[in-house]
Amino acid sequence: MRIDRRFLMKTGTTAIAGALVHTSLASTMSHRSSTGLASLGAARGMKVGIQSSAGRFSQWVLGEFLRDNFNMITPPLKWTSIRPKPDQYEFVEADREVAFSKAHELAIHGHNLCWNGSNPAWFSSVLSKQNARDYLNDYIKTVVGRYRGQVDSWDVVNEPIAIWNHRPDGLRSGPWLDIIGPDYIDLAFQATQGADPSCLRTLNLNGCEEQSSSSVEQVRITSLNLVKTLLKRGVPIQAVALEAHLDAPWRPNDVAYLDFLRSLRDTGLQVYISELDVNDTAIPGPASHVEDAVAQTYSSYLKDVLSVIAIERLIFWSCSDRFDWYGSLAETQPRWRRADGQLHHLGLTDLNFSPNPAYYAVCKVLKANREK
């Protein structure tokens, strides 16, 4: 069922959330569409996920799309919401996300346990060399332990590389690195293993997906060196997740990227895609042309990835053009601002939450792989 576009444009996201009616999920969650992304992925041993709050799965129209297509969810499970004050844990929202996901057969990808960006404001006045290890260890033991056996995988350390910080090791500056040092990564993985040995422990890598530049090649070299160093140190890492915020258009058969994927695969770790969407800022022309370029980017990128590695998790970051985070970036950063001033076509559905060309392109790729 479709909602009138003019109603959506006038009311905005908040009003829509209030207007959408809730529906029973008992049957729809256990019987996903046989032609949806989750079923196509399952046929080749792949979980297909989406970055979303669990509550969206119970909404009208959007919820139907989500229920048909995803069997994994990346809900908001971060320090900023779970530990808003140094002496306070807040689990109400996180408990709700986990309970909903568990009840409705959605595997959970936890994002994230340790990041040198987007942390609570109290970090700057509280963390010190005397207590930072204790804070990190206590947080991971408390959060991972609380959801032991209920979270399928965790981004244990998120976005560890930032070559623009000009450190010899390429690591990203921030409270954990600056106070604890590079072995904050070891501590985070060891604490996660101790709190829940059953969850998949992942290093989430950023910036490796861009094409044709010397800087991205340096990011890849630095990222691969970090992975190998962690393994050499005996850090209990099990997987590497690659973010994929792709700039359209994607040039197929990117030899350098494929070689990077092979190198990661050869470490013996599981490799998968964690944050897939498309930035269309550089694509001019009418909406139909832009949507076709976005669809081509999704398709060509996934074909490249699946030609090299058998991923067991494929997680999308943007389910709809309505949730335009590139547009939010564009408010303060011209790099993300479309010349025509239009919304970005970054996701798998349009403003009405109807499947768009990108969605059908992804379905075609997964179906083709399934039938090989």
Total domains in the chain come to 1
Q: Taking the CB of residue 103, how many other CB atoms lie within 10 A of it?
A: 12
**11, part of any domain:** no
What whole-number distance in Å separates Cα of residue 159 and Cα of residue 222? Answer: 12
* Confidence at residue 26, expressed as pLDDT on a 0 to 100 scale: 37
Phi first, then psi: what are they for 191, rounded to 5°?
A: -65, -40
The CATH number linked to 109 is 3.20.20.80
* Confidence at residue 236, expressed as pLDDT on a 0 to 100 scale: 98
Q: Which two tokens stand for residue 5?
A: 């576009």
Q: Which two tokens stand for residue 19?
A: 């207007």
Q: Quick one: 18 exposed, middle or buried, by C-beta within 10 A (0-12, 13-18, 19+)?
A: exposed
* Confidence at residue 369, expressed as pLDDT on a 0 to 100 scale: 55
* Confidence at residue 212, expressed as pLDDT on a 0 to 100 scale: 75
The helix (H) or strand (E) run that includes residue 49 is strand 47-51
* Confidence at residue 370, expressed as pLDDT on a 0 to 100 scale: 57
- Segments of the chain with pLDDT less than 70: 1-31, 369-372
Q: Which two tokens stand for residue 212?
A: 């044709």
N-terminal to C-terminal alpha carbon distance within the chain: 34
Q: Taking the CB of residue 364, how many other CB atoms lie within 10 A of it?
A: 16
**200, part of any domain:** yes
The residues, ordered by sequence, that sit 6+ positions from 157 with a Cβ below 8 Å of its Cβ are 112, 113, 114, 115, 184, 185, 188, 189, 203, 204
DSSP 332-363: T-GGG--TT-PPP--SSB-TTS-B-HHHHHHH
**14, part of any domain:** no
The parent domain of residue 191 ranges over 21-370
**149, part of any domain:** yes
**6, part of any domain:** no
> Looking up tokens 């997964």, which residue turns up?
366
pTM: 0.91
**126, part of any domain:** yes
* Confidence at residue 31, expressed as pLDDT on a 0 to 100 scale: 55
* Segments of 54-141 assigned E as strands: 72-74, 107-111
| The pairing of beta strand 47-51 with beta strand 313-316 | parallel
What whole-number distance in Å separates Cα of residue 213 and Cα of residue 217? Answer: 7
Q: Which two tokens stand for residue 195?
A: 């709190």
Residue among 164, 26, 204 nearest 105 (CA):
26
How many helices (H) and strands (E) would you count in the chain?
Answer: 14, 8
